[in-house]
Amino acid sequence: MASEATNVNSQSEAFETWIKDQPLKPPCAGACPVNADIQSFVSLVAQGRFKESLEAVRERCTLPGSLGRICHHPCEGECRRNDVEGAVNIRAIKRFASDVCADEPVSDAVPKTRGKKVAIIGGGVAGLTAAYDLAKDGFDVTIYEQNDACGGAIYTGVPKYRLPKDVVAQDVAAIESLGVTIKTNTAIGRDVAFDDLAKDYDAVLIAIGLTVSRGIPIPGHDADGVLLALPVLKEANFNDNAAIGKRVVVIGGGNVAFDVARSAKRMGAEEVSLCCLECEDEIPAFSWELVEAREEGIIINPSWGPREIRVEDGKVSAISFKRCSRVFDEKGMFNPAYDENEILGIEADNVVFAIGQGADMNGFTGTSLEVDERGRIKWDALTLKTNLPNVFASGEVVTGPGSAVAAMRNAHHAATAIERFLTTGTAGAVVVPEPLAIGRLPRHTIDAIVRKEKNHVPMVDPAERVKSFMEAEGGFDIDMAIYEAGRCMNCGRGAEIIAEKCAACLTCVRVCPFGAPYISESRVADFNWDSCQSCGICAAECPGMAIHVGFNDDTLINERIDAATSGITAFGCQLGKPEIYNPLSKATSTPPGLNFVKLMCASRLDMRHILRAIENGVDGVAVMACPDDKCRYRKDVNWAEVRANRVKRLLDEIGIGGERVEFMGSFATPEEAQQAIGAFKAKLAELGPNPLNKVMVK
Amino acid sequence: MIVAEPKSLDEIKAMVDGYDRVLMVGCGTCVEVCLTGGERSVNLTATALRLARKVDGRDIEVGEQTVIRQCDFEYLDEVKDADKYEAIVSLACGVGIQGIARKFPNTPIFPGVNTTFMGFNEEYGYYTEMCKGCGECILHLTGGVCPVARCAKSLLNGPCGGTNNGKCEIGSDKDCGWVLIYNKMEQLGTLDKFKEINAPKNYGKAGNIRSMDLRK
Ligand SMILES: Cc1cc2nc3c(=O)[nH]c(=O)nc-3n(C[C@H](O)[C@H](O)[C@H](O)COP(=O)(O)OP(=O)(O)OC[C@H]3O[C@@H](n4cnc5c(N)ncnc54)[C@H](O)[C@@H]3O)c2cc1C
Ligand code: SF4
Ligand code: SF4
Ligand code: SF4
Ligand code: SF4
């Protein structure tokens, strides 16, 4: 008997079609620059289906372990749970999915069915992402990377305490496993000529990022001890004995500056100051970087502009700053103004410029690739094309600095552009419609939602973490991850009316805990998706069977019911744990002879579902529902129990016997579940086979 | 709306005992609203019947259909393939059941529900009788509370001696209709009218074989 625990989401064709036609998407996915299907991967973790979750992440977020650590997670900012008690910790869930599957075998190579070759210059975030998409599409992809490994800025720049290098390697390996050829230590311009590449390949993607740190030519800038951000970070990342002076001043207020300052601390600096033009509120680095840097003892000096580096014996001894009175002018343009009367002097052994990066275009000078007067690649943001017919560019080299996930988004577009070019022979604009997000939770719905406090990831104590480059942030354990994933409210995949079947009876309006259904002007029920939580209570009560629940559609549920014609079929909440979790295989399995049909909530259970299972020939039906304090849906009625009791009465009348249906509540541990199922089995054995069957299958 | 309650499965099973192919037809109006005769009820009842017969070792084919109203011929036109079945079980109120019986004069028709009363939809799954269809409405005299339907004895002048702390003598879970009337009239400030004797009603108007003709 097939008793695989099946997903409650995007696994059926009917569902896929349905969801595609839905105009409204959850706001998390809309805020995610790569529009990751957050709801699905979160929901899969909630069900203990980690491998599938990871695959769902990777589909759009191609470097799950890395981005699970360093993504600035704009999704969480838009999560509708913010209005309840805090966003779902989406990033940590993604990291969990990646970490828990670290030892899983990588995927099989995708057959190269397209007969076309693509070269990608630069194995950073953008290059890897485009490689993933194109390889999945069946192209023969080769990445040329000048470093000894791929990853780009997240490999060489992002410090190890935020992103261990083996995590980057794990992400890269997964992409390589699709059949992507990776040529490391191969620089275009030095080892391979660009023009040759453009000739040898059907298409080329330039994704060389911004690899050169800039300085400011203030007096003393060329003294010994004046450093640039990226080389310092590289040293910190790859030299286990990396050292720096006792007193370090970092110039800059972006994330790179904070990475440098915090790395300097870990390289042994005793006094680290970070000085930037911007005032405290304008500091461009992420807010949490400021908090964590201060915890680590870094002194942040906002509103100071570098003036002069004092040099003694050719070596830096101090640096002075002038007060910066404003960074942007009235027009919002970068145009700092200073007050030269206010000066700050700091003694220093090292000064590090962390004020920005530029592209290294050396490998392309004198080639057929055209650049503008400022040396930037001539590039069309819509078609992602350069001046050459088969050469495209993507990532920060063309978009300018931003986040990793933004580079990823651009690379998905580049892959689309290349795919289209290689398919049709012409390049075209890549237009990606922004998904329309459903609205915020109405007050009455917020009031009805069960509070579930957000799980935060553990952080190593500041005093401890500055001692080394050990990873500062921890991950979720299995229980934390499942709990946190269970906080997602499945926004926008809820109830939908089949208008011609609705009798406007008001049942849905009356049973919904969240105030989502209403009788519309056209005098049939309609559902406010801002409120609907996809629990399915209404659908199982509607007398006209006029309600379709996206995440929990009847066709899908029936398919799962039909998987069993003997033994026990159990119905329960997707978050319940009747299955046995096996930490070694990182997979879940259900006890033999048990067909577990997962529902969004046990309240989705329809009397018809139970009868269908019985009619299929199973000997018994177990109904499992979380206790009220565990249920994520506020309900005044335990609907699963009510419906189980109704079916019991009906089965008595039918002559099959109500004892074949058992309401079991839920279980704290898989062992408990097994025990209860064992007892039920014994009872069923006594009852003998389902009278609809002749032979009882043990 | 018209309220009906499901018949027991045993009863339905006994009714169709002589048939192997029956069509179960629901009604998508009143009885659907009171959760007794809509598509869901048809499906559940049909499944239950099928299973019960299987247990007895005799299969039965049960077709399922639900129309908008069974009390209109035009909607009954939607019932398809009735000739493929030996009998019809209707889950409409008595009106609809008779409608379908007229529509298919050669097919035996069985009621799948007991039609009970004209009632108010109080809340999910809970209905109360409000009107007897007496043909001579006096709600204006009784504070908008019907004594015919809500007094156990249909007294036109009450309460009787059995009234007991606001409850009816037939059961402490039943409100005394006349106390309801009194309270409502007190609220309306029309208690002076309460003392007036209501004239006997012409119960002939509640008699049988009633019809209405608005065609003139
Ligand atoms: C220090 C630092 C910290 C950051 N922290 C974060 C963060 O916390 N969160 C976040 O979202 N983003 C962060 N970013 C930004 C993020 O890393 C970038 O957005 C992203 O890496 C850009 O991707 P890319 O592919 O365009 O460029 P890159 O990732 O830089 O990749 C370019 C690749 O091209 C290779 N290359 C260049 N020239 C050649 C050549 N001629 N031949 C062959 N290969 C070549 C390079 O070696 C490199 O591997 C950070 C960036 C830095 C520098
Ligand atoms: S609750 Fe879930 S679906 Fe809704 S916005 Fe948050 S993560 Fe997205
Ligand atoms: S429960 Fe069904 S029939 Fe009743 S109003 Fe809601 S959708 Fe319409
Ligand atoms: S699915 Fe649940 S939340 Fe949505 S309308 Fe139905 S009862 Fe309400
Ligand atoms: S047949 Fe009966 S239940 Fe159906 S609409 Fe007519 S009166 Fe109402």
A636 CB neighbours in chain B (<8 A) are none
**CA–CA separation, A678 vs A685, rounded Å?**
10
Query: pLDDT at residue A576 above 70?
Result: no
Residue with tokens 């299907």: A37
Closest to A438 measured CA to CA, from A23, A19, A26: A26
Query: pLDDT at residue A586 above 80?
Result: no
Query: pLDDT at residue A631 above 80?
Result: no
Query: pLDDT at residue B5 above 50?
Result: yes
CA of A129 to the centre of ligand 1 (A): 12
Identify from B55, B78, B91 which residue to disrupt to test chain A contact, counting A C-beta atoms within 10 A and taking the largest count: B55
Write out the DSSP string of A259-275. HHHHHHHHTT-SEEEEE
Which whole number is the average pLDDT over A587-608?
Answer: 81
* A505 → closest Cβ in B8, B32, B55: B32
Mean pLDDT of chain A: 90
Which of B75, B90, B117 is where one domain is finished?
A: B117
Residue B139 and residue B109 share a domain: no
* Beta-strand runs (E) in A410-502: 436-437, 495-497
A692 CB neighbours in chain B (<8 A) are 51, 54-55
Query: With the C-alpha atoms ordered A488, A625, A572, A439, is the resulting torsion angle positive or negative?
Result: negative
Query: With the C-alpha atoms ordered B178, B183, B184, B186, is the resulting torsion angle positive or negative?
Result: positive
- Where residue A583 falls among pLDDT bands split at 50, 70, 90? very low
**Which residues fall within 8 angstroms of residue A207, CB to CB, at 6 or more apart?**
A120, A121, A122, A124, A126, A127, A130, A393, A394, A395, A397, A411, A414
Nearest-Cα distance to chain A for B55, in Å, is 6
- Please indicate if any CB of chain A lies within 8 Å of the CB of B45: no
Query: pLDDT at residue B28 above 90?
Result: yes
Which whole number is the average pLDDT over B8-32?
Answer: 97
CB contact under 8 Å between A503 and B10, yes or no, is no
Q: In angstroms, how far is the first alpha carbon of chain B from the final one?
A: 27
pLDDT of residue A515: 92
- Please indicate if any CB of chain A lies within 8 Å of the CB of B14: no
Residue with tokens 């406007």: A504
Write out the DSSP string of B166-199. TEETTEEEEE-HHHHHHHHHHHHT-HHHHTSPPP
Radius of gyration of chain A (CA): 29
A314: exposed, middle or buried (C-beta count within 10 Å: 0-12, 13-18, 19+)? exposed
Residue B174 and residue B91 share a domain: no
Q: Which two tokens stand for residue A638?
A: 């335990």
Q: Which two tokens stand for residue A210?
A: 């911004």
Question: Which is the closest atom of ligand 1 to the Cα of A189?
Answer: 41
CB contact under 8 Å between A544 and B124, yes or no, is no
Q: Which two tokens stand for residue A664?
A: 């079991």
Residue B102 and residue B42 share a domain: yes
Which whole number is the average pLDDT over A611-640?
Answer: 86
Instruction: Let me know the angle formed at the C-alpha of B98 by B92 and B102, rounded to the nearest 5 degrees.
Output: 125
Residue B139 and residue B89 share a domain: no
A635 CB neighbours in chain B (<8 A) are none
How many structural domains compose chain B? Answer: 2
**CA–CA separation, A102 vs A581, rounded Å?**
17
| Residue in B closest to A653 by C-alpha | B9
B126 located within any domain:
no
**CA–CA separation, A543 vs B29, rounded Å?**
10
Neighbours of A191 (CB within 10 A): 12
CA of A10 to the centre of ligand 2 (A): 16
Diameter of chain A measured on Cα atoms? 101
Upstream peptide bond of A591 is cis (omega within 30 degrees of 0): no
Chain segment B52-65, per-residue pLDDT in tens:
999 999 999 999 99
Tell me which DSSP letter residue A539 carries. Answer: T
Closest to A503 measured CA to CA, from A547, A534, A459: A547
Identify the bridge partners of residue A228 per DSSP, sorted by sequence position.
A353
B184 located within any domain:
yes
Residue with tokens 């909630």: A46
CB contact under 8 Å between A507 and B35, yes or no, is yes
| Structural domain containing residue B110 | 2-117
B127 located within any domain:
no
Q: What percent of chain A has pLDDT over 90?
A: 75
Q: Which two tokens stand for residue B205?
A: 């108007």
Contact of A2 with A563, CB cutoff 8 Å: yes
A504 CB neighbours in chain B (<8 A) are 33
- Where residue A17 falls among pLDDT bands split at 50, 70, 90? low
CA of B71 to the centre of ligand 5 (A): 6
Chain segment A59-97, per-residue pLDDT in tens:
999 999 999 999 999 999 999 999 999 999 999 999 999
Residues 73-132 of B with CB under 8 A from A: 121, 123-124
pLDDT of residue A81: 95
Chain segment A264-304, per-residue pLDDT in tens:
999 999 999 999 999 999 999 999 999 999 999 999 999 99
Tell me which DSSP letter residue A75 carries. Answer: H
Q: Which two tokens stand for residue B115?
A: 């039609």
* B32 → closest Cβ in A543, A650, A656: A543
B124 CB neighbours in chain A (<8 A) are 507, 510-511, 541
Instruction: Let me know the angle formed at the C-alpha of A420 by A419 and A422, rounded to the nearest 5 degrees.
Output: 65
Query: pLDDT at residue A587 above 50?
Result: no
**Which residues fall within 8 angstroms of residue A341, CB to CB, at 6 or more apart?**
A323
- Please indicate if any CB of chain A lies within 8 Å of the CB of B197: no
Closest to A214 measured CA to CA, from A223, A226, A225: A226
Chain segment A358-368, per-residue pLDDT in tens:
999 999 999 99
Which of B73, B91, B117 is where one domain is finished?
A: B117
Contact of B146 with B155, CB cutoff 8 Å: no
- How much is the ipTM here? 0.94
What are A's interface residues with B at a Cβ cutoff of 8 A? 501, 503-507, 510-511, 541-545, 607-608, 611-612, 614-615, 650, 653-656, 691-692
Q: Which two tokens stand for residue A129?
A: 């992402």
pLDDT of residue A589: 59
B74 located within any domain:
yes
Residue A502 Cβ inside 6 Å of ligand 3? The answer reads yes
Contact of B16 with B110, CB cutoff 8 Å: yes
**Which residues fall within 8 angstroms of residue A275, CB to CB, at 6 or more apart?**
A249, A250, A251, A301, A304, A306, A321, A344, A346
Residue B174 and residue B95 share a domain: no
Residue A81 Cβ inside 6 Å of ligand 2? The answer reads yes
Identify the bridge partners of residue A276 per DSSP, sorted by sequence position.
A302
**CA–CA separation, A114 vs A289, rounded Å?**
45
Query: Strands A357-358 and A212-213, how do they pair?
Result: antiparallel
B122 located within any domain:
no
Domain holding B86: CATH number?
3.40.50
Residue B139 and residue B98 share a domain: no
Chain segment A635-691, per-residue pLDDT in tens:
778 899 999 999 999 999 999 999 999 998 877 777 777 888 899 999 999 999 999
Neighbours of A455 (CB within 10 A): 20
Residue B25 and residue B107 share a domain: yes
**CA–CA separation, A30 vs A39, rounded Å?**
11
Nearest-Cα distance to chain A for B19, in Å, is 17
CA of B69 to the centre of ligand 5 (A): 6
Point out the least confidently predicted range of A80-89, A237-246, A416-425, B202-211.
B202-211
Query: pLDDT at residue A581 above 50?
Result: no
* B28 → closest Cβ in A544, A611, A655: A544
B124 located within any domain:
no
Chain segment B145-193, per-residue pLDDT in tens:
999 999 999 999 999 999 999 999 999 999 999 999 999 999 999 999 9
| Residue in A closest to B10 by C-alpha | A653
Q: Which two tokens stand for residue A114?
A: 């397209």
Chain segment A320-364, per-residue pLDDT in tens:
999 999 999 999 899 999 999 999 999 999 999 999 999 999 999
**CA–CA separation, B38 vs B43, rounded Å?**
9
Residue A26 Cβ inside 6 Å of ligand 2? The answer reads yes
Residue A508 Cβ inside 6 Å of ligand 3? The answer reads yes
Write out the DSSP string of A42-67. HHHHHTT-HHHHHHHHHHH-S-HHHH
- Where residue A19 falls among pLDDT bands split at 50, 70, 90? low
A501 CB neighbours in chain B (<8 A) are 28, 39
CB contact under 8 Å between A543 and B33, yes or no, is yes
Q: What percent of chain A has pLDDT over 70?
A: 93
Residue B174 and residue B113 share a domain: no
Q: Using H for helix, E for strand and C for coil, what is the string for A626-668?
A: CCCCCCCCCCCCCHHHHHHHHHHHHHHHHCCCHHHEEECCCCC
Q: Using H for helix, E for strand and C for coil, what is the string for A405-434?
A: HHHHHHHHHHHHHHHHHHHHCCCCCCCCCC
- Where residue A440 falls among pLDDT bands split at 50, 70, 90? confident
pLDDT of residue A124: 98
pLDDT of residue A1: 28
pLDDT of residue B100: 97
Nearest-Cα distance to chain B for A559, in Å, is 18
pLDDT of residue A167: 98
**CA–CA separation, A423 vs B52, rounded Å?**
60
Residue B112 and residue B21 share a domain: yes
Contact of A393 with A384, CB cutoff 8 Å: yes
- Where residue A22 falls among pLDDT bands split at 50, 70, 90? low
- Please indicate if any CB of chain A lies within 8 Å of the CB of B50: yes
Give ligand 5 pocket residues (Cβ under 6 A).
B 2, 27, 29-31, 69-71, 92-93, 95-96
B194 located within any domain:
yes
B55 CB neighbours in chain A (<8 A) are 654-656, 691-692
Residue nearest to atom 24 of ligand 1 (CA): A209
* A607 → closest Cβ in B29, B38, B44: B44
**Which residues fall within 8 angstroms of residue A76, CB to CB, at 6 or more apart?**
A28, A82, A87, A88, A89, A90, A91
Residue B161 and residue B87 share a domain: no
B78 located within any domain:
yes
Residue B69 and residue B154 share a domain: no
Task: Choose between A599 and A64: higher pLDDT.
Answer: A64
Q: Distances from the Cα of A539 to the Cαs of A13, A337, A511, A632, B25, in angstroms?
A: 20, 64, 10, 18, 21
Which whole number is the average pLDDT over A17-32?
Answer: 74
Closest to A296 measured CA to CA, from A434, A461, A182: A461
Number of Cβ pairs < 8 A linking chain A and chain B:
77
| Residue in A closest to B45 by C-alpha | A650
B52 CB neighbours in chain A (<8 A) are 653-655
CA of A406 to the centre of ligand 3 (A): 44
Residue nearest to atom 8 of ligand 2 (CA): A28
Q: Which two tokens stand for residue B175?
A: 């409100």
pLDDT of residue A146: 98
Residue nearest to atom 2 of ligand 3 (CA): A542
Query: With the C-alpha atoms ordered A684, A687, A691, A697, is the resulting torsion angle positive or negative?
Result: positive
Contact of A355 with A214, CB cutoff 8 Å: yes
CB contact under 8 Å between A544 and B56, yes or no, is no
Residue A520 Cβ inside 6 Å of ligand 3? The answer reads no
Residue B10 and residue B103 share a domain: yes
Which of B67, B84, B117 is where one domain is finished?
A: B117
* B39 → closest Cβ in A544, A607, A615: A544
